[in-house]
Amino acid sequence: VMVEKQGFKHFMLKEIYEQPGVVRACLEAYLDTSWSPESATSPIKLNLAPELYSDLKQVQIVACGTSWHASLVGKYLIEQLAGIPTMVQYASEFRYAPSPLTPNTLTIGVTQSGETADTLAALEMEKQRRAGQSPRFEARLLGITNRPESSLGHMVPQVIDTHAGIEIGVAATKTFVAQLMAFYALALDLAYHQQTLSATRLEQILLGLRQLPAQIELILESQERYIEELAHDFAETQDFIFLGRGINFPIALEGALKLKEISYIHAEGYPAGEMKHGPIALLDAKVPVVAIATPGLVYEKVLSNAQEAKARDARLIGVTPLEASESAEIFDDLLPVPVVEELLSPILAVIPLQLLAYHIAARRGLDVDQPRNLAKSVTVE
């Protein structure tokens, strides 16, 4: 397939702009449009074999890089919506130190390319060690991938296709957002089967999901120019800290990873509440702090953590809704996102962080689509 930049300066920017469409494609693929709260079926259509779900006690997820970050959001969703204990492991670690075998366990490999050697090896190891065990311990393998035809697709009996289309930029953007969508679908489907959510709550979340494409569009339209300008201030910056909590802690990790990958600026993502146990020692006027402060359970907590950073002279950038006046006073720069329920906020919060990383790297004149030392898929150990 011939993929072109269509007027965008880099594939990465084009792919960032494709995200509303990707989310729409995922909604179309995963949501049953004929569903209503009165229906006696799941609102989600993933066509997974019922054996994957039966008497499910645990979920374990293996992944690398950006897919590992999506998996952390997935863990939050599966635990909070479906009430199933979920572990997320780096595939490169799990393959040499697997957790003890647990019964009735769903193992999910998340890899956009379907070719990452460590992820494939971790799944193969899981398959081997569970072969010949009693039925409760048999492997239940599921893949989440953008390439169902990949090696992963051949290795596992079931996949959730992430419908992002081919991604060229080495730094993953649209495939990450699509993986998040796959996890919303999976967590809601599990919640339906576990009967942990009321039909009205399910409907509420589905309504929220349907609004995401237009909300992502709004962020792209209203912020790109501003972020491009803002990026000028950071062309010489050497370190960045990204803070988030709860469901947005993985987004802080992802924001930091995007920046590292393409701008070569040192960046750390941290759970905001942990800052006092180390990273706060790094802070001064030369280290900008990006805080994800979206309304919800940990909103006030993140704001007070951000204030602690401000007291150390850090320049504070807030990914936060404009409507939240208290946060407008705390932050030096705002990257506004629409107000949504906390559960859905990661998919919006990541967009300005992708743009920020992109524009800083572009400003530094770097090869955004092909960063040094990195490969799109790492097919060797």
Residues forming contacts to ligand G6P in the complex (CB under 6 A) are 64-67, 111-113, 116, 119, 170-172, 374, 376-378
**Residue 302 or 353: which CB sits closer to ligand G6P?**
353
Inter-CA distances, 302 with 13, 24, 335, Å: 29, 31, 15
* Rounded Cα distance, 174 and 96, in Å: 31
- Token pair 């690398």 is found at 64
What CA–CA distance (Å, rounded) separates 215 from 348?
A: 7
Q: Which residue is nearest to ligand G6P (CB)?
A: 65
Beta strand extents in 128-285 (DSSP E only): 140-145, 158-161, 239-244, 266-271
Among positive and negative, which fits the CA dihedral 205, 181, 367, 7?
negative
- The dihedral built from the CA positions of residue 374, 165, 244 and 231, taken in this order, carries a sign that is positive
Q: How far is the CB of 171 from ligand G6P (least distance, A)?
A: 6
Nearer to ligand G6P, 66 or 89 (CB): 66
Task: Look at residues 48, 51, 50, 47 and name the one whose alpha carbon lies nearest to residue 139.
Answer: 51
> For residue 58, how many other CB atoms are within 10 A of its CB?
15
Tokens of 157: 């009996």
Residue 303 Cβ, how far from ligand G6P at the closest point, in Å?
30
| Smaller CB separation from ligand G6P, 122 or 306 | 122
Least distance CB 113 / ligand G6P (angstroms): 3
Alpha-carbon gap, residue 228 to 209, rounded angstroms: 28
Is 376 an active-site residue? yes
Which residue, 204 or 377, has its beta carbon nearer to ligand G6P?
Answer: 377
Name the minimum Å distance from CB 221 to ligand G6P: 26
Catalytic one of 127, 301, 310, 376? 376
With respect to ligand G6P, which residue has the nearer C-beta, 111 or 223?
111
CB atoms within 10 A of CB 248: 30
Q: In degrees, to the nearest 5, what angle opens at C-alpha 132 toward C-alphas 130 and 134?
A: 85
Shortest Å, Cβ 169 to ligand G6P: 9
DSSP assignment, residue 281? G
Nearer to ligand G6P, 249 or 331 (CB): 249
Q: How far is the CB of 97 from ligand G6P (least distance, A)?
A: 19
Residues annotated as part of the active site: 376
